[in-house]
């Protein structure tokens, strides 16, 4: 959520952000400012009415002391009428504050000046490509064929038991999932992250805090009876861990990592984009979250990006780093990078991580603050997160990029101690 004072002082900047992100009608800013003006005018009227009531109370006491009971009674009647008006004004203030908050929740974060302006993924900037694409003297198979051949993933039975996008991992496929979990978590801990195991369900306040509500309401599963959401990403419970708290400045930065299953209703595109492990409704990943001093936000973004990339480097997977444009970066982000791994069997790039800073956007919703010094006013922290990494497409790339002509799959050295075998054959 943006600061209303900042919107009031530079509304054009926010209108431009709405246009650049394609996140709504820029006229929403004008509506917000009108409501804000109504709020301030109503509060002023309330304060003036309360002051008049206080003055009347003083007059009543003085008149009674002077024996002017008739005049005092008139003032008492005036006070009674003012009391009714104050109650009316207080209700109006509550109403207009609620309307203003609803409008603020619909306004996206403002992109950092370094973010390229663009309308779609075609306008994202490839900053770097790391590693060499594997070369084959045979036609490499896509991961769904390899998974079927080696009994690693069962898509059909997953669809039978739950639905499309909910696969079974079986045998060595299940062991690979467990290996990736431990491998990614160990790397994160070695790089200074505190491991946690967050809840797998969240309440609406938590979803609103990180920006899933109202922006992504239709992409989340919901349990109406309890008003819970299965988490769409570990970012939500992990960042809300400090909701409504004032942190010690000496404790910043806070760095957390966690394994989390994720549930998303998004169907994505059609055809090969959703085949196999490319896009699932339930998937696993290790999430990295940082809560930092505002002055350190963009240094932390670079470090978080390096943390995510290091896992791909260790696995020997070729990947590229994309700086996302305004129209493809999301509602809540101020700046966002995507990491895409090369899929040899499909000859395409697959996203395996998004790394973002939200500046104070999430912290303002959640009221996560710190106090610079003992008697100082509190300030909002900055929040960041990144996938370190998402499992399905990493597994797809591992299978496709490391296959051999005789149908075997060689595992990268760092995974062998976790999984307990060198080859899938």
Return the active site residues: 264, 279, 351, 354, 393
Identify the helix (H) or strand (E) that includes residue 96: helix 69-104
**Sign for the pseudo-dihedral over CA of 177, 151, 143, 317:** positive
Can you spell out the DSSP letters for 190-220?
A: HTTPEE----SEE-HHHHHHHT-TTTTGGGS
Per-residue tokens: 274 = 């959703």
Q: Which of 290, 298, 295 is nearest to 336 (CA)?
A: 298
> Which residues lie closer than 8 Å to 94 by C-beta, 6 or more apart?
none
Q: 């070695």: which residue's tokens? A: 190
Mapped onto helix, strand or coil, the DSSP state of residue 259 is: strand
How far is C-alpha 333 from the geometric centre of its chain's CA atoms?
8
Number of Cβ atoms within 10 Å of the Cβ of 65: 9
107: left (phi over 0), alpha (psi -120 to 50) or beta: beta
Q: 């509602």: which residue's tokens? A: 331
Per-residue tokens: 379 = 């300030």
Task: Round to whole Å and give the CA distance between 264 and 221.
Answer: 7
Task: Round to whole Å and give the CA distance between 335 and 233.
Answer: 18
Identify the helix (H) or strand (E) that includes residue 8: helix 4-9
336: left (phi over 0), alpha (psi -120 to 50) or beta: beta
Mapped onto helix, strand or coil, the DSSP state of residue 141 is: coil
Number of Cβ atoms within 10 Å of the Cβ of 64: 15
> Which residues lie closer than 8 Å to 355 by C-beta, 6 or more apart?
301, 304, 305, 308, 336, 337, 338, 339, 384, 385, 386, 387
How deeply is 111 buried, as exposed, middle or buried, from its count of CB atoms within 10 A (0-12, 13-18, 19+)? buried
255, 238 in Cβ contact below 8 A? no
């Amino acid at each position: 959520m943006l600061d209303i004072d900042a919107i009031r002082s530079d509304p054009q900047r926010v209108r431009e952000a709405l246009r650049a992100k394609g996140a709504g009608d820029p006229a929403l800013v004008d509506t917000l400012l009108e409501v804000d003006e109504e709020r301030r005018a109503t509060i002023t009227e309330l304060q003036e009415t309360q002051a008049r009531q206080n003055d009347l109370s003083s007059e009543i006491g003085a008149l009674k002391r002077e024996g002017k009971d008739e005049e005092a009674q008139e003032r008492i009647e005036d006070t009674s009428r003012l009391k009714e008006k104050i109650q009316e004004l207080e209700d109006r203030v509550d109403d207009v504050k609620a309307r203003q908050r609803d409008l603020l929740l619909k306004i996206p974060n403002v992109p950092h000046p370094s973010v390229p302006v663009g309308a779609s993924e075609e306008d994202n900037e490839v900053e770097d490509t790391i590693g060499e694409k594997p070369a084959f003297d045979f036609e490499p198979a896509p991961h769904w064929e390899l998974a079927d051949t080696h009994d690693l993933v069962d898509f059909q039975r997953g669809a039978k038991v739950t639905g499309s996008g909910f696969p079974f991992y079986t045998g060595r496929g299940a062991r690979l999932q467990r290996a990736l979990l431990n491998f990614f978590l160990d790397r994160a801990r070695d790089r200074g992250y505190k491991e946690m195991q967050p809840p797998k369900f969240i309440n609406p306040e938590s979803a609103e805090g990180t920006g899933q509500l109202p922006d992504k309401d239709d992409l989340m599963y919901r349990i109406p009876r309890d008003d819970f959401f299965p988490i769409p990403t570990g970012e939500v419970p992990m960042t809300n861990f400090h909701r409504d708290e004032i942190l010690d400045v000496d404790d910043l930065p806070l760095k957390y990592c966690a394994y989390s299953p994720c549930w998303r209703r998004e169907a994505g595109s059609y055809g090969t984009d959703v085949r196999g492990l490319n896009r699932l409704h339930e998937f696993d990943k290790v999430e990295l979250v940082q809560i930092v001093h505002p002055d350190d936000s963009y240094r932390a973004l670079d470090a978080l990006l390096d943390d995510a990339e290091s896992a791909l480097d260790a696995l020997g997977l070729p990947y590229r780093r994309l700086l996302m444009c305004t129209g493809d970066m999301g509602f809540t982000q101020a700046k966002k990078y995507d990491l895409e791994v090369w899929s040899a069997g499909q000859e395409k790039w697959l996203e395996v991580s998004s790394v973002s800073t939200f500046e104070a956007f999430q912290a303002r919703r959640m009221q996560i603050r710190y106090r610079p010094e003992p008697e100082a006013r509190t300030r909002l922290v900055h929040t960041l997160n990144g996938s370190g990494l998402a499992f399905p497409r990493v597994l797809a790339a591992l299978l496709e990029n490391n296959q051999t002509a005789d149908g075997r799959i060689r595992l990268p050295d760092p995974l062998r101690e976790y999984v307990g075998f060198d080859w899938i054959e």
